């Protein structure tokens, strides 16, 4: 926020307010909104510059001001402030303390700067790069950059080791039908793509307020429906390709069913993890990318080999 705003006592007359406004305008961040305060400095109303100019000279500000003033607390998260400015189309929003004393304003241009900063932060977190605001990314050393990414890379290693253990547990299945291994990259990559897409939608929706963390089940089920559609379309496609390539009907059925299950699971998990993380009071962008991908790799392989074992009776 900035403390360069214009506020007058509510008893001040329109003529006097305009005269004072002319003196204060050069130092004020904006003069389109003039705020009215009581003797304690508490915000009681707002007057637009237009209404102030058109008002009779002897009219007190309290007679022309709007008393239903949208305001934000000084300790409120800056993303919430940006959301309000966007929702109501304000040029500025007053900032008050717990006693409603006017402390400053947030202007729309400052809000746009916040939007850029928050988007950059979310993108870095989503990709698994921890954000250190004290470090200039353009000037940071390779070691400083690597240190910020290392924890999530280590998490990814742990996830892939578990994935390798799943493959090892089903090694007998792979030895029986080697062609099963041909489709592992397809299933894992497709699941990762869908899961990341769903997670990105949830993170963005939470940031803009379009998605409420309170309705986790509703959002997860909605993404599950999307996953079923994507899985069915891609499942039939990959099953047909498998049959043409390998000439095995049952193998095509295995890959197709695994694709349907994997993409449905990916969409659900991609929606659930950010929502749960947000519900627990953490930034959903931090864990969404690397965590979702690692979990999906493990579950995707398990679903694939379990399906093969069941259908091919291996």
User: Which has more pLDDT, 209 or 278?
Assistant: 278
Q: What distance in Å separates the CA atoms of residue 61 and residue 102, rounded to the nearest whole number?
A: 17
Angle at 9 between CA 88 and CA 43, to 5 degrees: 40
Alpha helices in 40-141 (DSSP H): 49-54, 61-64, 78-88, 108-126
For 274-290, the pLDDT digits (tens) are 888 788 777 676 655 67
In degrees rounded to 5, what are phi and psi of residue 265? -65, -40
List, in sequence order, every residue forming a beta bridge with 34; answer none if it has no partner: 47
Are 124 and 203 in contact by the 8 Å Cβ rule? The answer is no
Lowest-confidence region among 121-125, 280-284, 296-300 = 121-125
Lowest-confidence region among 74-83, 150-159, 285-294 = 285-294
CATH topology of domain 142-311: Tetracycline Repressor; domain 2 (1.10.357)
For 174-207, the pLDDT digits (tens) are 777 778 888 888 888 888 888 888 888 888 787 7
Quote the tokens at residue 233: 């379309």
What is this structure's pTM?
A: 0.60
Of 216, 224, 291, 219, residue with least CA distance to 262: 224
Q: With the C-alpha atoms ordered 276, 279, 284, 287, is the resulting torsion angle positive or negative?
A: negative
Domains 7-115 and 142-311 share a fold: no
- C-alpha distance from residue 101 to each of 36, 39, 41, 63, 96 (Å): 11, 10, 5, 21, 5
Q: What distance in Å separates the CA atoms of residue 77 and residue 87, rounded to the nearest whole number?
A: 16
Residue 135 pLDDT exceeds 90? no
Locus of tokens 């489709």 = 183
Quote the tokens at residue 295: 């979990």
Considering the chain, what percentage of its residues have pLDDT values greater than 90?
22
Mean pLDDT across 122-130: 55
Cα dihedral 303, 308, 311, 314 in deg (nearest 10)? -130
Angle at which helices 284-311 and 142-169 pack, to 10 degrees? 20
Residues whose CB is less than 8 angstroms from the CB of residue 201 and which lie 6 or more positions away in sequence, other chains included = 223, 270, 271
What pLDDT score was predicted for residue 126?
Answer: 54
Per domain, the residue ranges of the chain are: 7-115, 142-311
CATH no. of 7-115: 3.10.580.10
Mean pLDDT across 242-255: 88
What pLDDT score was predicted for residue 61?
Answer: 92
DSSP string, 228-259: HHHHHHHHHHHHHHHHHHH--HHHHHHHHHHH
Q: What distance in Å separates the CA atoms of residue 269 and residue 232, rounded to the nearest whole number?
A: 18
For residues 32-49, b (16+ Cβ closer than 10 Å) or e, as one string?
ebbbbbbeeeebbbbbeb
Q: What distance in Å separates the CA atoms of residue 160 and residue 166, rounded to the nearest whole number?
A: 10
Mean pLDDT across 100-110: 88
Q: What distance in Å separates the CA atoms of residue 91 and residue 102, rounded to the nearest whole number?
A: 17
Quick one: residue 25, left, alpha or beta (phi over 0 = left, psi -120 to 50 = alpha)? alpha
- CA end-to-end span of the chain, whole Å? 66
Helix (H) / strand (E) containing 262: helix 249-279
pLDDT interval class at 12 (50, 70, 90): very high
Residue 70 pLDDT exceeds 80? yes
């Amino acid at each position: 926020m900035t403390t360069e705003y214009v506020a007058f006592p509510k008893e001040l007359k329109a003529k006097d307010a305009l005269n004072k406004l002319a003196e204060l305008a050069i130092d004020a961040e904006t003069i389109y909104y003039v705020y009215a305060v009581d003797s304690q400095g508490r915000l009681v109303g707002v007057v637009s510059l237009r209404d102030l100019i058109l008002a009779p000279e002897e009219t007190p500000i309290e007679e022309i001001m709007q008393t239903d003033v949208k305001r934000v607390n000084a300790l409120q998260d800056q993303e919430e402030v940006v959301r309000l400015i966007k929702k109501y189309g304000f040029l500025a929003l007053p900032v008050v303390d717990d006693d409603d004393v006017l402390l400053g304003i947030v202007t729309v241009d400052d809000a746009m700067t916040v939007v850029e900063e928050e988007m950059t932060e979310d993108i870095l977190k989503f990709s698994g790069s921890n954000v250190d605001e004290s470090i200039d990314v353009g000037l940071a050393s390779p070691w400083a950059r690597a240190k910020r990414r290392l924890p999530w890379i280590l998490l990814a290693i742990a996830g892939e080791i578990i994935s390798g253990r799943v493959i090892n547990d089903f090694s007998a299945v792979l030895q029986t039908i080697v062609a099963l291994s041909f489709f592992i990259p397809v299933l894992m990559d497709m699941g990762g793509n869908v899961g990341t897409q769903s997670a990105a939608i949830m993170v963005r929706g939470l940031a803009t307020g379009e998605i409420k963390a309170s309705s986790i089940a509703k959002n997860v089920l909605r993404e599950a429906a999307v996953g079923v559609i994507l899985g069915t379309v891609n499942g039939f496609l990959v099953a047909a390709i498998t049959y043409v390539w390998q000439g095995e009907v049952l193998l095509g059925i295995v890959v197709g069913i695994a694709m349907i299950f994997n993409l449905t699971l990916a969409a659900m998990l991609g929606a659930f993890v950010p929502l749960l993380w947000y519900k627990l009071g953490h930034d959903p962008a931090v864990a969404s990318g690397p965590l979702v991908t690692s979990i999906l790799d493990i579950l995707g392989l398990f679903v694939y080999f379990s399906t093969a074992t069941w259908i091919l009776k291996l």
